[in-house]
Structure 1
Amino acid sequence: MEKHFFGILLLLICSGVMAQTNKRLSLEGQYGFIIPHSSELKEISQSNPFGVNVHYQTMNLGKNRWDACNCFHYLGVQLSYHNFANRDVIGSAYSLSGTFEPILWKNEKLAFSILSGIGVSYLDRVYDEISNPENIFFSSPISFILFVTPKIEYRISENWSSQLTVAYNHISNGGQSQPNKGINYPMLGIGVNRYFQSSPFPKYEKSDLPKTIQWFVETAFTTRESDWSNGRKPVLSLVGGFHKNLTAINALGAGLELTKDYALDVENSRLEALMPAPFIAHHFLFGRIDFNQRFAIYTQKPTGYNDYLFYQRYSLMYRLVNDFSMGFSLKAHGHVAENMDVRISFRF
């Protein structure tokens, strides 16, 4: 009888640990500057954005959540207001974002983490050919926001902490309408966190590093405004590549991306819009999550398709089941975003 009692008690304790969740609410003020990433933007970039974030986050301390990332991490929802300090031309952004924040290092008082997020922004001043021709940052009131934010947190008490952040923000419409230079604005932030639940971190064993090269194939789809006809046309991509782990969360890789852009005008054949691009890549790997950054060089592209010889692609993928992953990516030329797409990947 005693064995059964202690067995049940142990099961309840373990399930209690699995169910433990840390919860916190953050309030942060921010101040920054706009990067004039092309000569056309220098004049309207001479302002200092300021704003405020309200952020609610939860951290599940269960082993299954740990395995998804090989780390303890917060998932959250952030509401932000950013005033670009140029009311008549650029206006303000009201954004709602989903966030992911892995803890990279921690002791009793200090913690270092990297917050990232993606969401939707409402912009109250956009490009208009007659009333607002200067704003070539964005032309759509509904746009996307992406940000990466290194963060240092200092624990003041059991329920309170302070934080210092450096955020790199990007807002654009993903190429859904033009002009769409996109706005890039780093911001320094100072804030406080109020903990509603706070439990110590359990100790889990990290997974072993893969010893072999990881190969993958990937396909993607999006649409763009056509250069040669009315309406939107499909953009299709096929990717083959590999990566090799260097550390638990870092890997290097390479591959080849083939993109067929039906939105581009051609002179003789649609094959001119087939753009092969070899790339090198860096991967941040957090269990099932793969955030990778690729640098690709065009080996062929249609005449008149931008002046760049290279592009960057930022992809966020989540492994759904077995070796299948799904996510999205952003393609950019320098600091100028071109489009976003949906991606499916299979590794072997």
Structure 2
Amino acid sequence: MFTSRYLLIACFVISSTVLAFGQENEPDEERELGVIALQGISKPTYITPISTQTPVGIELRYSRLHMRRESWQQCQCFFRSGVFVNAYSFRNPEALGQSIGAGLFYEPILVHRARWGLSVRALAGLAYVSRHYDAITNPGNRAFGTAINGLIGAGLYARYAFAPGWRLLAGFDYKHISNAGVRLPNQGLNIPALAVGIQRYMGSSTLPNPQNWRNVDPGKRWMFRVMALGSVKVLEANKEYPERGYPVFGLNLIGGYHLTRTHVLSGGIELLDDRYFKEQIKQWTGRYQPYRQGTLLAGYEFWQGHFSFTAHMGWNVARPLWYKPATYQKYGLLYRFSNGFTGGVAVKAYGDNTKNFQAVAGMTF
């Protein structure tokens, strides 16, 4: 919680920074700078020594409200985009320590009124954690296998303008820190939190009417996408083998049907050559065995302009028969260029356990 002294300091810093950005030219699009306090609402139970308190954090955000037609057409919505810097105390100094993170965020506006609004945010970045797994000095930390980790998150926020140029912010914030299975152990850490903050803004926040910007042509109903994927995973050292990174690459083929321009049912196959898994099998069984995997995928996609969010269930129909689990979830965030070239990132997970991040690139037809 902030004391009144810290609130005054925060307000001064916010005012000075935003005004500095706007001194040369009065921006026609709103700029916003805010400081947010984050109070965690759950604590990890798989850490030794066990965490007895929930995490707390603070975050500084700077964003721009995009109101031009070319921006609106990217997602068929008005949105903010910007940068953030945050710091967390996990309040378990022996096992988890603290973190410092930074990255980019994208925040579509759901409701916009003269004095209040509602928005949803997605973010991605990197986080440094002060305490990570070490077989000798920190064997109880199963959350972080490396000091540098990926940071992803989402949130739902409400804003209320209580004075000219000033807003209060409140909402729900969720972040996940992990190295995506690059180096084990990698249980990762989920940080759901309540967010309360203060925002300083300047520039126009009056949104234009996009009615004439809409394309009423429903377009083609069927779509097809072919994507190459790649990643790297690090196999832990043991008494017989040194630590080593192995490539993961494959091919993702998806077909889908547009129920509407936004909502798509899709399915397909994924072929995976996981050299990390190949070496794992050798260590488990003492010999190389067939390791390549073939997966059937089925799921849903949400398309907004050039962006699409994908969510699929996968069933490994081609795999070592003894290997479990046979199913997994896969989520992706993709961007399609006008010529059909598509790129983005995908996450493979078993429940809440993130197994792998993948870079993907290909074509959408």
Q: TM-score range by the shorter chain?
A: 0.7 to 0.9
CA–CA separation in structure 2 for the residues paired with 1:157 and 1:278: 54
Q: Could you give the per-residue CA deviations for residues 154-198 of structure 1, whole angstroms, max 9, x where no partner exists?
A: 232341222222122110012121111111121111112110223
Aligned to 1:263: 276
Secondary structure at the aligned position of 1:273 is classed as coil
- 1:107 offset after TM fit, Å? 2.5
- 1:247 offset after TM fit, Å? 4.8
Paired letter, 2:268: G
Paired letter, 1:346: M
**Which residue of the other structure, out of 321, 324, 329, is the alignment partner of 2:341?**
324
Q: Could you give the per-residue CA deviations for residues 247-266 of structure 1, whole angstroms, max 9, x where no partner exists?
A: 55433322221111111235
Secondary structure at the aligned position of 2:123 is classed as strand
Aligned to 2:313: 295
Aligned to 2:364: 347
Q: CA contact under 8 A between 1:55 and 1:76: conserved in structure 2?
A: yes
Q: CA contact under 8 A between 1:226 and 1:262: conserved in structure 2?
A: no
Asked if residue 232 in structure 1 is aligned to residue 245 in structure 2, the reply is yes
CA–CA separation in structure 2 for the residues paired with 1:146 and 1:154: 26
Q: What is the alpha-carbon root mean square deviation over aligned residues? A: 2.4
Q: Could you give the per-residue CA deviations for residues 123-143 of structure 1, whole angstroms, max 9, x where no partner exists?
A: 001111111111110021111
CA–CA separation in structure 2 for the residues paired with 1:275 and 1:45: 38
Asked if residue 128 in structure 1 is aligned to residue 137 in structure 2, the reply is no
Comparing 74-83 with 338-347, greater Cα deviation is found at 338-347
Equivalent runs, 1:1-348 vs 2, <5 Å: 20-34=28-42, 36=44, 40-41=46-47, 44-204=50-210, 205-208=213-216, 209-226=218-235, 230=242, 231-247=244-260, 249-265=262-278, 266=281, 272-302=290-320, 305=323, 307-348=324-365
Q: CA contact under 8 A between 1:210 and 1:245: conserved in structure 2?
A: no
CA–CA separation in structure 1 for the residues paired with 2:161 and 2:255: 41
Paired letter, 2:346: S
Residues 199 and 153 (structure 1), Cα distance of their counterparts in 2 relative to 1, 3 Å cut: closer
Secondary structure at the aligned position of 1:89 is classed as coil
TM-score normalised by the chain length of structure 1: 0.86
TM-score normalised by the chain length of structure 2: 0.82
Comparing 130-139 with 158-167, greater Cα deviation is found at 158-167
Residues 66 and 47 (structure 1), Cα distance of their counterparts in 2 relative to 1, 3 Å cut: same
- 1:40 offset after TM fit, Å? 4.3
Structure 2: runs of 5+ lacking an equivalent: 1-26
- 1:345 offset after TM fit, Å? 2.7
Q: CA contact under 8 A between 2:109 and 2:120: conserved in structure 1?
A: yes
Q: CA contact under 8 A between 1:52 and 1:80: conserved in structure 2?
A: yes
Paired letter, 1:78: F
Q: CA contact under 8 A between 2:221 and 2:259: conserved in structure 1?
A: no
CA–CA separation in structure 1 for the residues paired with 2:296 and 2:202: 49
CA–CA separation in structure 1 for the residues paired with 2:71 and 2:247: 37
Q: CA contact under 8 A between 2:43 and 2:54: conserved in structure 1?
A: no
- 1:244 offset after TM fit, Å? 3.3
